[in-house]
């Protein structure tokens, strides 16, 4: 599918020559693919991490990564972001407060980022898990709001429709309406971009809504969601065991296998307005 003019004006897609096999014959054509480039993050002149990312919404990515990794305690600790393009990739130069820089040095990482990995290069086991806020009580969400958000998400994924190669993360109001969406080749990157976009927009009450993602719900996806103060994460695929343990401790409702009106609640079902449950009711296992 050809990207629309709005998407082309933002970038993030490229054209490549391909050869397709169709009905026993061969067809040569040009195809649209998602861009993936090395993105380096520097804090006060010190190189910290290199991630592979789609070169869209990179200021949101820089802010969201810094917040979700615990480098920044708040948006106010980020003074400036400069984006510098070079022959090898893009460098994001962040100027941060002294307290944030000291925090970074205390838990120094040397990460070689990959689209499917969020913990590459962590120096010790102590750095894997960090203290997360205990999420506050909130009004229970209707399951139909989650189903609505996931349906709307597929419609709003312009980059995914054009390339078939990216993930999305979106913050949704309690009604299921999507208020903010970000896309990237990496699921962690998409979530970081969303968290950065939420902070940049000064979203006042993130806890009043929830986040949906087009991926599995790994440990770091849960950790980033909880750090953003959002009490529910809904994923189209499965969570991992460590994600479930982390969500349970943070009082985050972790939802998986959101397919149509069906879903699986792994933690804190009290955050959903569920019908009275009977142990005698049998449903087919999720596959």
State the alpha helices, DSSP H only, in 201-279.
219-227, 241-250
Helix (H) or strand (E) holding 200: helix 187-200
Cα(43)–Cα(96) distance, integer angstroms: 7
Residue 199: both structure tokens together? 């902070």
CA angle, 80 then 82 then 86, to 5°: 165
147, containing H or E segment: helix 143-156
If you ran DSSP here, which 8-state letter would residue 123 be given? S
d(CA 141, CA 136): 14
Q: Which of 117, 120, 172, 283 is catalytic?
A: 117
Catalytic status, residue 117 = yes
- Order across the sheet with 178-184: list the strands: 178-184, 167-172, 210-213, 232-235, 253-259, 262-265
Beta-bridge partner residues of 30: 17
Active-site residue list:
117
């Amino acid at each position: 599918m050809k990207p629309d003019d709005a998407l082309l004006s933002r970038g993030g897609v490229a054209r490549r020559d391909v050869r397709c096999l169709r009905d026993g014959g061969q067809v040569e054509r040009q195809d649209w693919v998602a861009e993936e480039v090395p993105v380096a993050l520097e804090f006060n002149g010190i190189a910290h991490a290199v991630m592979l990312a789609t070169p869209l919404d990179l200021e949101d990515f820089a802010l969201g990564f810094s917040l979700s990794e615990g480098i920044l305690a708040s948006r106010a600790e980020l003074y400036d972001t400069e984006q510098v393009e070079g022959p090898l990739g893009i460098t994001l130069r962040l100027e941060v407060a002294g307290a944030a820089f000291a925090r970074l040095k205390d838990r120094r990482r040397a990460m070689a980022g990959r689209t499917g990995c969020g913990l590459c290069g962590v120096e010790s086991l102590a750095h894997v898990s960090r203290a997360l806020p205990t999420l506050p009580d909130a009004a229970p969400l209707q399951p139909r709001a989650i189903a609505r958000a996931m349906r709307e998400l597929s419609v709003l994924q312009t980059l995914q429709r054009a390339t078939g190669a990216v993930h999305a993360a979106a913050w949704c109001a309690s009604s299921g309406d999507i208020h903010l969406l970000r896309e990237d080749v990496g699921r962690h990157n998409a979530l970081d971009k969303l968290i950065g976009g939420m902070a940049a927009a000064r979203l006042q009450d993130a806890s009043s809504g929830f986040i949906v993602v087009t991926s599995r719900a790994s440990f770091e996806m849960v950790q980033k969601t909880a750090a953003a103060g959002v009490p529910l994460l809904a994923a189209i695929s499965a969570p991992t065991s460590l994600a479930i343990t982390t969500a349970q401790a943070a009082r985050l409702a972790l939802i998986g296998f959101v397919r149509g009106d069906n879903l699986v609640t792994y933690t804190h079902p009290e955050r959903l307005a569920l019908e009275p449950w009977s142990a005698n009711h049998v449903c087919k296992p999720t596959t």
